[in-house]
Amino acid sequence: MPHGHCYFWEKDILIPIVIGDLLTFLSYMTIPILLWKFVKNREDLRFGVVFKAFAAFIFFCGIGHLIDVINIWEPYYRVSAIAKMCTGLVSLGTVLMLFKLYPKALKLPSVSRLDNINDELKRKNKELVELNEMYDDTMKAVRLGYWHLDVESNELYWSDVVYDIHEMERGCNVDVASALNFYHPDHREVISELVTNAIQNSEPFDVQLKIITASQNELWVRAIGKAELKDGKPVKLKGLFQDIDDLKRKEEQLTQNESALKEAEDLAQLGNWRWSFDRQERYWSDGRFKILGYEPGEIEPSLQVALDSVHPEDRERVEGTIKQAIEKDEDYELSYRIINQSNEVRIVKDKGVFVNLPHTKGQYYAGIVMDITDESLKEQKLQESLKALERSNRELQDFAYVASHDLQEPLRVITSYLQLIEMSYGHLLDDEGKLFIESIIKASARMKTLINDLLVLSRLETKQRDAVPVDLNKVINVVKEDLSLKIIDSNAEIKHPELPVVYGDEGRMRRLFQNFIGNSIKFRRPDVDPKIEIEWSDVGEKYQFKIKDNGIGIKEEYFERIFTIFQRLHTREEYEGTGIGLAICKKIVGKHDSTIRVESEYGKGSSFIFELNKSKG
Ligand code: ADP
C-alpha cells in the first residue's frame, strides 16, 4: 500500500511533505557535489576523505527523501530499505572516520593561531630581507661578487659587485667572450683554459689574475669557478669574483720590503732572529745563517747552535750574560768572537730585546747579530794610530818645551854680551859696525819673544791648572796696564760692561784677553783710532764673549788659517809678530771646551767670539 494512505490522501498534508522532501533532496544532491569539487580543488586540504564520506552520507540521505516522495504513490519499500541501509552504513563509516580523526582535528590550528603563525612568518621574512641586505653590504665591503654561466644557453649572470669591480654599469649585458676580454692580455689564455676545463672536465678553479677594467684600471682579482652537474653533465658554471688589488699590492710591497731587508742584511753583514719562550717560534733570517757560515735554512735554528759557535774564550761570558738576561726578562748587548763553519774567527755584535706582548702569552726575544770584524779591526788600527799620534804629539810638546826653555839661557848670554860689547867697545866701532850690533840685538829680542810664546804654548799642553774663579774686570784692568804704552800711542778706546766671574786660570785669562786686545790695537787701520768693545752674554752653562774692533779686518778665506801656529797674513815689516798669539788663544779656549769663531768684514773690523766656563764643572 502506498504511503499516501497514511496521510489520508489529504492534500494539505501531502503537499508540504512532498515539497519539503523534494527541496531537501535537491539540497542534499547539491551539497555533495560542492563538497566533492572543494576537495578536488584544494590539494592542500587535510582529511579530504572525511569530506568525501560526508558527501556520500548526504547523498544517500537525499536519495532517502526522494524515495519517501515516490513511496507516497508507489510502495517501493524495498528500495527504501536498501537506501536506508546504505545511508546507515555510510553514516557509520563517517562516524568511525570522525572518531579516528578527532584527536588530529583537535590539534589543527585555530584561526587565531594561524594569525600568530602569519605574524611570525612576516617577522621572519623581514629578518630575512634585513639579512639579505646585510649580506649584500658585506659582499660590497669585501668586494666579493658572484656569477654563473648557463652552459647550454651560454647566458652569463653577474652580481652587482662583479659589475662594480669591472667598473661597468650594473645590469648591462655581458657575454662570456667580453667577460674573458677584461682579463689582462698576459692572463687571458690562462682563464680561458680554466673555464673550458671547468666545463669539459668539471675541474674547479681558484686563481688570482689581473683584469683591465672598463675605465682602463689594472686590478688584481680572485676568480673561483665550479661546475654544477645534472645527470653527470655540467649544466652551470658558478663561482665567486673578488677584488684583491689592495691585498695583492700589500703582498707585493711586503715581498719588496723583504728583499730590501735581505739586501740590507747582506750589505751590513747582519742577521736577525726571534726566539719565543714556548719554543714554538725559532726564526733566523738568511743573514743570521750566513754569519755562522751556513746556507740559509741548512740547520735548525736554536740558541744552542748559536752558543756553540762562540769562541771558547768568550763562551762563559756570553752564556752568562744571555742566561741572566733571559732570567730577568731584560735586553742585552754583547760583542764576542765566533768561529764560523769555515773555521774563521769573526767578531760579532749581538743585541737581544725582550718583547712582551700584553695580550698574548707569547713573550719572546728578538734581536740582531752583526758581523763587525772589519769595523773592529779598523777601530783597533785607528786606536793604535791615535795612541801613536798622541805619543808623538806629547814628545813634540816635550821637545818644544825643553827646546824653548833651554834656548832662553844661551839667548840671554848672547844679549848680555852684545850689550857689553856695545857699552865697552861701542866707541871703537864705525857706523856700519854699530848697525850690525843693533840688528843682532833686535833679532835676539824677536827670538826672545818667539821663545817665550812657544814656551807659553807648550806649557798650556803640559801643565794642568786648577780652575778657580777669575774676575774678568780685574783681568782687563791688568791687561790695560800691560798695554798702556800701546793704548796711549794708538789713542785706543776699550769699552766693556761689568764683566762676569769665570772659572779658569788667571794667568791664562790675562794672556787670552791681552792677545785679542793687543792684536786689535796692532792691526788697526792707519788713519782710524782703534775702538775695542767687549760684549758678553749668558748662554746656559757658559758665558759667551765677543771682542770687536774697527781694524783692518780679515778676508774670509783666512778665517781658519789665522789660528794655526806661525800663520801670519802680513810680513814682519808691515806688522811685527810671531804668529803664535791666536794659536795660544785657541788652546786656552779649548781648555774651556769651546772654540773661537771669527766674524769680519775686510777693511772694516773683526770680531772674535768664544765661550768660557761659568762654573768649575
Ligand atoms: P801675530 O799677531 O803674532 O801675527 P796671531 O796668531 O796673533 O799672530 O795672529 C795671526 C794673524 O791673524 C795675524 O798675523 C793677523 O794677520 C791676523 N789677525 C789677528 N788678529 C787680528 C785683528 N784683530 N784684525 C785683523 N787681523 C788680525
Starting at the edge strand found earlier in the chain, the sheet holding 531-539 runs: 493-495, 531-539, 542-548, 605-613, 597-601
Q: Which of 517, 562, 570, 601 to mutate to test the pocket of ligand 1 (most atoms within 8 A of CB)?
A: 562
**CA 569 to ligand 1: nearest atom:** 16
523: CA distance to ligand 1 center in Å?
Answer: 7
Do residues 507 and 496 lie in contact, with contact meaning Cβ atoms separated by under 8 Å? no
Q: Which of 516, 523, 525, 566 to mutate to test the pocket of ligand 1 (most atoms within 8 A of CB)?
A: 523
What's the average model confidence in pLDDT over 572-593? 90
456: CA distance to ligand 1 center in Å?
Answer: 17
Q: Is the pLDDT of residue 450 over 90?
A: no
- pLDDT band of residue 269 (cuts 50, 70, 90) is confident
**CA 520 to ligand 1: nearest atom:** 23
What's the average model confidence in pLDDT over 537-551? 95
Q: Is 521 in the pocket of ligand 1 (CB under 6 A)?
A: no
Report percent pLDDT > 70 for the chain. 98
* pLDDT top residue among 48 and 596: 596
Q: Is the pLDDT of residue 361 over 70?
A: no
Report percent pLDDT > 90 for the chain. 56
Which domains, and CATH codes, for the chain? 3-107 (no CATH), 142-243 (3.30.450.20), 250-371 (3.30.450.20), 376-464 (1.10.287), 465-613 (3.30.565.10)
Instruction: Report phi then psi at 494, rounded to 5.
Output: -115, 120
- The neighbouring-strand residues paired with 606 are 600
389: CA distance to ligand 1 center in Å?
Answer: 29
Q: Is 520 in the pocket of ligand 1 (CB under 6 A)?
A: yes
Residue 275 CB partners (closer than 8 Å, separation 6+): 281, 282, 283, 303, 364, 365, 366
Q: Is 554 in the pocket of ligand 1 (CB under 6 A)?
A: yes
- Whole-angstrom distance, CA of residue 612 vs CA of residue 617: 12
Tens of pLDDT, residue by residue over 330-351, are: 999 999 999 999 999 999 999 9
209: CA distance to ligand 1 center in Å?
Answer: 77
Residue closest via CA to ligand 1's atom 8 equals 579
Q: Is 519 in the pocket of ligand 1 (CB under 6 A)?
A: yes
Angle at 306 between CA 304 and CA 310, to 5 degrees: 110
**CA 552 to ligand 1: nearest atom:** 25
602: CA distance to ligand 1 center in Å?
Answer: 13
- pLDDT band of residue 401 (cuts 50, 70, 90) is confident
Residue closest via CA to ligand 1's atom 23 equals 520
Tens of pLDDT, residue by residue over 75-107, are: 899 998 998 999 999 999 989 988 988 888 888
Q: Is 600 in the pocket of ligand 1 (CB under 6 A)?
A: no
Angle at 211 between CA 207 and CA 212, to 5 degrees: 180
Residue closest via CA to ligand 1's atom 21 equals 519
Average pLDDT of the chain to the nearest whole number: 90
Question: Which residue is associated with the grid cell 569530506?
Answer: 51
Q: Is the pLDDT of residue 279 over 70?
A: no
179: CA distance to ligand 1 center in Å?
Answer: 87
- pLDDT band of residue 238 (cuts 50, 70, 90) is very high
Q: Which of 262-266, 361-365, 408-412, 545-549 has the highest mean pLDDT?
A: 545-549
Write the DSSP symbol of residue 177: H
- Whole-angstrom distance, CA of residue 333 vs CA of residue 276: 18
Do residues 578 and 508 lie in contact, with contact meaning Cβ atoms separated by under 8 Å? no
Q: Is the pLDDT of residue 617 over 70?
A: no
Q: Is the pLDDT of residue 362 over 70?
A: no
Q: Is the pLDDT of residue 457 over 90?
A: no
511: CA distance to ligand 1 center in Å?
Answer: 15
Q: Is the pLDDT of residue 359 over 70?
A: no
582: CA distance to ligand 1 center in Å?
Answer: 7
- Whole-angstrom distance, CA of residue 225 vs CA of residue 205: 5
Tens of pLDDT, residue by residue over 162-186, are: 999 999 999 899 999 999 999 999 9
Q: Is the pLDDT of residue 319 over 80?
A: yes
Q: Which of 457, 519, 598 to mutate to test the pocket of ligand 1 (most atoms within 8 A of CB)?
A: 519
**CA 567 to ligand 1: nearest atom:** 10
* pLDDT top residue among 257 and 405: 257
Residue closest via CA to ligand 1's atom 7 equals 581
Q: Is the pLDDT of residue 558 over 90?
A: yes
The pLDDT value given to residue 521 = 96
Q: Please name which of 537, 395, 530 lies closest in space to residue 461, comparing C-alpha atoms.
A: 395
Q: Please name which of 550, 548, 440 lies closest in space to residue 491, comparing C-alpha atoms.
A: 550
Q: Is 523 in the pocket of ligand 1 (CB under 6 A)?
A: yes
- Whole-angstrom distance, CA of residue 238 vs CA of residue 545: 86
- Whole-angstrom distance, CA of residue 88 vs CA of residue 65: 14
- Whole-angstrom distance, CA of residue 301 vs CA of residue 197: 44
The pLDDT value given to residue 364 = 83
Sequence-distant contacts of 197-204: CB under 8 A, at least 24 apart? 198/225, 198/226, 198/227, 198/234, 198/237, 199/151, 199/227, 199/234, 199/237, 200/234, 202/227, 202/229, 202/234, 203/227
Q: Is 512 in the pocket of ligand 1 (CB under 6 A)?
A: no
Locate the DSSP E strands across 344-461: 345-355, 364-371
Q: Is 549 in the pocket of ligand 1 (CB under 6 A)?
A: yes
- The neighbouring-strand residues paired with 601 are 605
- pLDDT band of residue 3 (cuts 50, 70, 90) is confident
- Whole-angstrom distance, CA of residue 4 vs CA of residue 76: 12
Q: Is 606 in the pocket of ligand 1 (CB under 6 A)?
A: yes
Side-chain half-sphere CA neighbours of 147 within 13 A: 27
The pLDDT value given to residue 426 = 85
Q: Is 582 in the pocket of ligand 1 (CB under 6 A)?
A: yes
Residue closest via CA to ligand 1's atom 14 equals 568
